C-alpha cells in the first residue's frame, strides 16, 4: 500500500525533533509525555527505495527516547475523542498555563480564547482550500502568543541581566580605574604616544623661534667707532 504523506499528515523525523524541543518547556506546567506517545503511531525506515522514496515499517519505539529517524502518524480515527484530540487539548492547557505564569495579562488567558483563535485560523485555511497538516496544527498551539505580544518576550533579556549583575562604583573607584595603566587598551596607549610626540614637536618649534639667527646678532651689536688719523 502506497501512502500519500501529505494526505496522511505524517510528521517526518526533522519535524518530530522540533516538536520534542517545543514541548520541553511545558514539562514545568504539567506536560504528560505519555499522552504524546499514545497520540502517534511511529514508523521507522525499513528500506531506502531510491528517488526520494522509503519503505516504512511500524515500530514500538518511544518517540522521545528512540535514536532512529522516526515518522509519526497521528491517531485520528476518532477526531473528537481519540488520543490525538486529547493531545491537542492537553498541549493547549499547558501552553495557557505557561503564558499566564510568564506574563501579567489584564485578565488571565483562557483555554477557550486560545481555541477560538486557533479555530478561526483553521477555518480560514479550509475556506482557501488548504489542508492543515498535523505538524502545523501542533506548532500553532506551541507557538501561540496573544495579540500584542511577541514570542521573543518569553526569553529574558540577556543584556539586562548582565547589567544588573555589575556592581555599582563610587566616584573615587571610577577615577582610580581610569588612571590604572593595566586597564588601558593598546589604542589608548598609541593615542598617548602620538600626543607626546606632538607636544615634543611643538616645543622644538618654539625653541627654534626663540634662538636668534646669526645675522640678527651681528646687527644688534653696537659697532665700534673707528678713529680717523689726525
Is 225 within a domain? Answer: no
Note whether 149 and 50 are same-domain residues. Answer: yes
Nearest partner of 43 among 21, 19, 20, 74, judged by Cα: 74
The model's confidence at residue 76, banded by pLDDT at 50, 70 and 90, is confident
Strand order, beta sheet including 53-58:
53-58, 40-50, 71-74
Note whether 126 and 74 are same-domain residues. Answer: yes
- Given a cut of 80, is residue 133 above it in pLDDT? yes
Residue 58: strand pairing partners: 43
Question: Residue 184 is part of which domain span?
Answer: 171-211
Note whether 115 and 176 are same-domain residues. Answer: no
Note whether 138 and 205 are same-domain residues. Answer: no
Is 63 within a domain? Answer: yes
Each residue's pLDDT tens digit, 179-221: 666 555 555 555 656 666 666 666 655 555 555 554 455 455 4
Is 220 within a domain? Answer: no
Note whether 65 and 147 are same-domain residues. Answer: yes
As for how many domains the chain has, the answer is: 2
Distance between start and end Cα atoms, the chain: 148
Note whether 136 and 187 are same-domain residues. Answer: no
Is 54 within a domain? Answer: yes
Is 226 within a domain? Answer: no
- Given a cut of 50, is residue 128 above it in pLDDT? yes
Place of cell 646678532: 217
Each residue's pLDDT tens digit, 94-127: 999 999 999 888 889 999 999 999 999 888 888 8
Q: How far apart are alpha carbons 20 and 33 in whole angstroms?
A: 10
Note whether 179 and 151 are same-domain residues. Answer: no
Q: How far apart are alpha carbons 12 and 6 in whole angstroms?
A: 11
**Cβ-contact 13, 69 below 8 angstroms:** yes
Note whether 156 and 178 are same-domain residues. Answer: no
Q: What is this structure's pTM? A: 0.62
Which whole-number Å values give the CA distances from 219 to 209, 210, 224, in the listed order?
A: 18, 17, 12
Amino acid at each position: 500500500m502506497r501512502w500519500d504523506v501529505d494526505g496522511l499528515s505524517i510528521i517526518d523525523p526533522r519535524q518530530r525533533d522540533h516538536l520534542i524541543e517545543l514541548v520541553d518547556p511545558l514539562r514545568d506546567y504539567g506536560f504528560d509525555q505519555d499522552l504524546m506517545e499514545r497520540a502517534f503511531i511511529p514508523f521507522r525506515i525499513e528500506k531506502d527505495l531510491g528517488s526520494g522514496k522509503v519503505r516504512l515499517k511500524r515500530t514500538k519505539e518511544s518517540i522521545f527516547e528512540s535514536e532512529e529517524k522516526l515518522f509519526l502518524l497521528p491517531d485520528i480515527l476518532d477526531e473528537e475523542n481519540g488520543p490525538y484530540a486529547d493531545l491537542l487539548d492537553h498541549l493547549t492547557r499547558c501552553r495557557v498555563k505557561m503564558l499566564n505564569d510568564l506574563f501579567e495579562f489584564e485578565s488571565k488567558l483562557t483555554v477557550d480564547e486560545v481555541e477560538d483563535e486557533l479555530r478561526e485560523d483553521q477555518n480560514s485555511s479550509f475556506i482557501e482550500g488548504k489542508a492543515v497538516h498535523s505538524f502545523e496544527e501542533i506548532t500553532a498551539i506551541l507557538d501561540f502568543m496573544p495579540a500584542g505580544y511577541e514570542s521573543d518576550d518569553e526569553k529574558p533579556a540577556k543584556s539586562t541581566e548582565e547589567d544588573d549583575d555589575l556592581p555599582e562604583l563610587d566616584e573615587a573607584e571610577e577615577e582610580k580605574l581610569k588612571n590604572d595603566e593595566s586597564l588601558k587598551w593598546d589604542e589608548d596607549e598609541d593615542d598617548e604616544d602620538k600626543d607626546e610626540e606632538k607636544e615634543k614637536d611643538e616645543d622644538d618649534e618654539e625653541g627654534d623661534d626663540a634662538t636668534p639667527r646669526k645675522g640678527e646678532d651681528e646687527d644688534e651689536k653696537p659697532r665700534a667707532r673707528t678713529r680717523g688719523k689726525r
